Amino acid sequence: MLEVRGLRKVFDQGGTQTVAVGNISFSLGEEEFLAIVGPSGCGKTTLLRCVAGLSQPTGGQVVLGGRPVVEPPPEMVLVFQDYTRSLCPWRKVLGNVLLALEHGVLTRAQQRRRAMDALRLVALEGFENHYPWQLSGGMQQRLQIARALAYRARIMLMDEPFGSLDALTRAELEDQFLAIWGAATGSILFVTHDIEEAVYLADRVLILGPRPSEVVAELAIALPRPRHQLHTRADPRFVEYRNAIFTRIWAKDTASAPAAAGRGA
């Protein structure tokens, strides 16, 4: 349903050209959880901004439902890594979720009901009247996820959403989010620099090389769901996937892919 074709993004800063995204093509299927991993600075965020319609690619295009994306489409919602800067500090928790619903289609009662439903999903019920800055980092990120859920887009784009959380909170949020995703319908495009997180969460992992980034390999993750922080991570296949991706990212010669990193493992 979502297709990225030959996407390229070049930044021109005072005559110096920086190729942030070299040439990236992939597609995202219905109900699919696709993770994109790559070393930091490989243009993952830039790629996601282009997919979201917040930034225009220099070359190639993003196609959603047969139409090129030039503006943020209503079928997509974006969750940012930096929750403190993405939430409105002057709005309380409920108000921050309502922000996603104020585009003018719903009645007030509908907005409120949907916002409360979303807060219940991320277990923030009872915190409606707190300000975001009164919450912990993990709770703030859950609030941002609740806001995105309330919007009810078919595709959720996530830019390292758990990247600035501590390990325990991160594991908790990963599982909470997988449960929510499993119960709902929709696709996820999840960008991360954490290889294990990508393997743990996704159906399929795209591996990007260093800048100017290209897709160097693609890996289907055939681990059973629901996944489990202990069992899944101890599964020999999990370790195999992880090692394959790790090797692939750091392979000097990007032309010869190890067999394990090939399609459809």
CB of 83 to another protein, least distance (A): 10
Q: Are residues 63 and 155 in contact, defined by beta-carbon separation less than 8 angstroms?
A: no
Binding segment toward another protein, per CB under 8 A, in 26-34, 97-105, 107-115, 186-194: 97-105
Among 6, 29, 89, 182, binds another protein (CB under 8 A): 89
C-beta closer to another protein: residue 48 or 205: 48
Size of the site for another protein (CB under 8 A): 26
Binding status of residue 12 toward another protein by CB under 8 A:
no
Provide the 3-class DSSP secondary structure of residue 218.
Answer: strand
Phi then psi dihedrals of residue 158, to 5 deg: -130, 125
**Strand ranges, E, within 31-179:** 33-37, 59-64, 67-68, 76-79, 155-159
CB of 5 to another protein, least distance (A): 22
Q: Kindly write out the interface string for residues 44-83 of this chain, putting x where it contacts another protein by CB under 8 A and - elsewhere.
A: -----x--x-x----------------xx-x-xxx-x-x-
Distance CA 29, CA 10 (A): 27
Restricting to residues 195-234, name those near another protein by CB under 8 A.
Answer: none
Restricting to residues 124-183, name those near another protein by CB under 8 A.
Answer: 131, 133-134, 151
Nearest to 78 by CA among 149, 170, 1: 149
Distance CA 93, CA 80 (A): 17
Binding status of residue 253 toward another protein by CB under 8 A:
no
